[in-house]
Structure 1
Amino acid sequence: MREIPLYNSFVKIESITKGMSSDKKYYIETVDGQHMLLRIADASEYAQKRTEFENMKHLASLGVPMPSPIDFGTCDNGKSVYTLISWIDGVEVETLLPSLTLKEQYIFGVESGQILQKIHSVPLTTICDNWAERYFSIIDPRLEAFRSEGIHFEGDTIILYYLESNRDLLCNRPQCHHHGDYHMGNMIQSDTNRLSIIDWHTVDFEGYGDPWYEFNRIGIKFGRFASGQIDGYFNHDVPEKFWKLFAYYLAASAITSIVWAKYFAPERIQDILKMNTDILHWFDDMKNPIPTWYLRDFS
């Protein structure tokens, strides 16, 4: 860490343990009063971290509300790679929403949807592989794992049938850069009342893919917020095909999480099983692609 050029200005270094990333994370304060986040990873991740840093710089330059990229490089005699970004003081939207009115929750959702749309407006600079092939190369083995060793529940065959019979929905989908983990816990209402997006270091499907795939982490716990996010993203004109793909990605994510939780997070099994049964309810046993919690033209 001492090799980081700004190290001599650090007056406070606090380790951060929250989150599932393998990165070492630190809250930093500098002699001139700046607050920063320092992430340190193994040098084998240099190329990936470099790409992340450059993408953050580009998005920040477009006005996406997010931490400002400050510095990037190697340390620990070349054994580690570091990323230094600004720290955003504020409250997680997930913590804030319960204290808001339903209208305020919806307004927050609209703003988050507009930000996501701006993130997705950045075109990929390289030719991408076919999205359907990339997606199914990951999801199909997970679905097979559920069939062979998952915890089965009433209605699981309905979800599996929907996923199998609607695979063509993923054909010829456009692709763009992803945030990677777009949910309420990664949204901060800053001390200056600005909604900002944090944690740009989750790499799912190598950081790019179908833009609508990112809705699989939407904050359904707050239906008004989720409705607002969808409306904000589409400027209140949601295409029919979105709903079918939204149901697809949500259901696939939920049912394939069961085996993961069985082995790695058994304490979450019941919550994930409930999510699957909720999905069956929201989409009327997968017969109606518009979920029951979606509110049209809420204001």
Structure 2
Amino acid sequence: MPQLSFISKEPINKGWSCDKKYCVTTAEGVKYLLRVTPEEKSADRADMFRMLQRVAALGVSMCKPVEFGKCDEGVYTIQTWVDGKDAKEVIPFLKESEQYTYGLEAGRILKVIHSIPAPENQPDWEPRFNAKINHKIKMYNECPIKFDGAENIIEYIKSNRHLLANRPQSFQHGDYHIGNMMIENNKIVIIDFDRYDFGDPWEEFNRIVWCAQASHIFASGIINGYFDNKVPFEF
């Protein structure tokens, strides 16, 4: 059971994970995020807690890990409570200059997250991602629904597989987009590392389309912030 004691526990019905989530409050009035994970996922959550500690130690603005342990339902994780608003509900309605500034901040945070290297025994990126490509193409070929131009897309992918060779790998947030960011005290706070992984850091931009849908200016800021306004041609 948690070492911290709480006087109230309110369920949170957001997100897609299997965790039960609660906003809990101590007798001193301090709020925390409590997540309860089924036993079968407990090993994953232990690893995630350790990685969150490494990320938080870098000074990343995030939902910080506080406590981890076992409970009757599996395992629990306690994290700091973010008393803010969802970024996707705030950023699109700001001045363009403010949207861009938040984007720069989000890009710089992502660069810090990627400073954590992948384990030395991590398989090379080229065969890993090629396997994913092969699986996706196989799924499409076996699907009865087709669309015009698919052959051109598949051929383009195949002809550019060589770009996967010798790519670096790092820690990845795994789901980095505006839906997993909050605004607290006029600062970006990163949440939900549930899909963390290790791989090509540039793969992390595969969800930037959701940022662009909310604010293309914010999305541009993320890229420029990440690359310190020196976006390489290869990217």
The TM-score, its normalising length taken from structure 1, stands at 0.74
**1:227 pairs with 2:220:** yes
User: Which residue type is aligned with residue 197 of structure 1?
Assistant: I
What root-mean-square deviation, in Å, do the aligned CA atoms of Structure 1 and Structure 2 show? 1.5
Question: What SS does the corresponding residue of 1:157 show, helix, strand or coil?
Answer: helix
**What is aligned with 1:167?**
161
Q: Work out the CA distance in 2 between the residues paired with 1:241 and 1:228.
A: 18
Determine which of 39, 45, 55 is the counterpart of 2:41: 45
Q: Work out the CA distance in 1 between the residues paired with 2:198 and 2:192.
A: 16
Determine which of 226, 232, 236 is the counterpart of 2:229: 236
Determine which of 108, 128, 131 is the counterpart of 1:134: 128
Question: What SS does the corresponding residue of 2:90 show, helix, strand or coil?
Answer: helix
Question: What SS does the corresponding residue of 1:164 show, helix, strand or coil?
Answer: helix
**What is aligned with 1:31?**
27
Deviating above 3 A after TM superposition, structure 1's stretches of 4 or more consecutive aligned residues are none
1:150 and 1:11, CA in 2 relative to 1: closer, same or farther beyond 3 A? farther
1:234 and 1:36, CA in 2 relative to 1: closer, same or farther beyond 3 A? same
**What is aligned with 1:56?**
52
Which structure shows the bigger proportion of residues in strand conformation?
2
Question: What SS does the corresponding residue of 1:200 show, helix, strand or coil?
Answer: coil
**What is aligned with 1:5?**
3
Q: Work out the CA distance in 2 between the residues paired with 1:127 and 1:146.
A: 32
**What is aligned with 2:204?**
214
Deviation at 1:125, TM superposition (A): 4.1
Percent of pairs with identical residues: 42
In structure 1, stretches of 5+ residues that fail to align are 243-299
Which structure shows the bigger proportion of residues in helix conformation?
1
Q: Work out the CA distance in 1 between the residues paired with 2:132 and 2:149.
A: 23
Determine which of 186, 195, 204 is the counterpart of 1:193: 186
**What is aligned with 1:266?**
none
User: Which residue type is aligned with residue 214 of structure 1?
Assistant: E
Q: Work out the CA distance in 2 between the residues paired with 1:227 and 1:74.
A: 42
In structure 2, stretches of 5+ residues that fail to align are none
Question: What SS does the corresponding residue of 1:231 show, helix, strand or coil?
Answer: helix
Q: Which has the higher contact order (CA 8 A, sep 6+)?
A: 2
Q: Work out the CA distance in 2 between the residues paired with 1:114 and 1:11.
A: 38
- 1:92-125 per-residue CA deviation (whole Å, 9 max, x = no partner) reads 1111122112222111111100000010011234
User: Which residue type is aligned with residue 232 of structure 2?
Assistant: P
1:23 and 1:136, CA in 2 relative to 1: closer, same or farther beyond 3 A? farther
